[in-house]
Amino acid sequence: MSAHAQCIPALRFGWLTNLYDPLIRWTTRELAIKGRLLEQAGIRGGHRVLDVGCGTATLALLAKRRCPSATVVGLDGDARILALARAKIARSAGGVVLTQALSYELPYAAVSFDRVLSSLVFHHLTRESKGKTLREIFRVLRPGGELHLADWGRAQNVPMRLAFVAIQLLDGFATTADNVRGLLPAMMAEAGFAQVEETARYATIVGTLCLYRARKPG
């Protein structure tokens, strides 16, 4: 998510990290949303898949279970949450590889992944870091590869906008502003992606969560 020394914990404060999984399940309709994200990703045998900002590896493990012959790599900058992820992977014998690194300085060769996934990461990033992260994702994707992203988006209505204030109070108004304004698709296109689209929207108790798909030309 961010540099090791600067990394913002998944729930902003380190003491909340152990509560991450139950809070996400309770507030975001997690399994339905991540299941839909993986459906649209269309991961196949032999694919190399990167989960950027993998958190406790829930999405990475779901991807591996859906397609055991795919190579699934999870990346996050938060050492505490990666410790939770490693324990979860060990319990499930999940076969997911984890890396601690920056979302905007990916430690992988160019054109090395077929799919990149990301869930509830971009609203933690500054505008500059969002752009750098998208350019890095574009770099590591193979031609024809796809980005599948879930994050907070423009509110469906006034109640959803008011509900999202709770997230902004926790995660910051500056980093969430681009999400609120619905700018993520435009930022993907600016990074070089084609066929950028919002594929679904979900009303949750803390705001509107959107799914996006984008393709690297070629």
Amino acid type, 180: V
Over the stretch 113-159, which tens digit does the pLDDT of each residue have?
999 999 999 999 999 999 999 999 999 999 999 999 999 999 999 99
- Compute the distance between CA of residue 63 and CA of residue 50 in angstroms, rounded to an integer: 10
Q: According to the model, what pLDDT value does residue 8 have? A: 57
Q: State the pTM of this model.
A: 0.89
Q: Indicate whether 2 pLDDT > 50.
A: no
Q: According to the model, what pLDDT value does residue 18 have? A: 64
* Furthest CA-CA distance within the chain: 44
Considering the four listed CATH numbers 3.40.50.150, 3.40.50.720, 1.10.287.3510, 3.40.50.2020, the one that applies to the domain covering 14-215 is 3.40.50.150
In the DSSP assignment, the letter for residue 56 is: T
Over the stretch 3-18, which tens digit does the pLDDT of each residue have?
333 555 554 544 455 6
Strand partners for 209: 152, 202
Please report, for the chain, the start and end positions of each structural domain, with discontinuous segments joined by +: 14-215
Q: According to the model, what pLDDT value does residue 1 have? A: 37
- Retrieve residue 188's tokens: 């993907």
- Given a contact cutoff of 8 angstroms between Cβ atoms, the answer to whether 211 and 30 are in contact is no
- Find, among 202, 189, 171, the residue nearest to 135 by Cα: 189
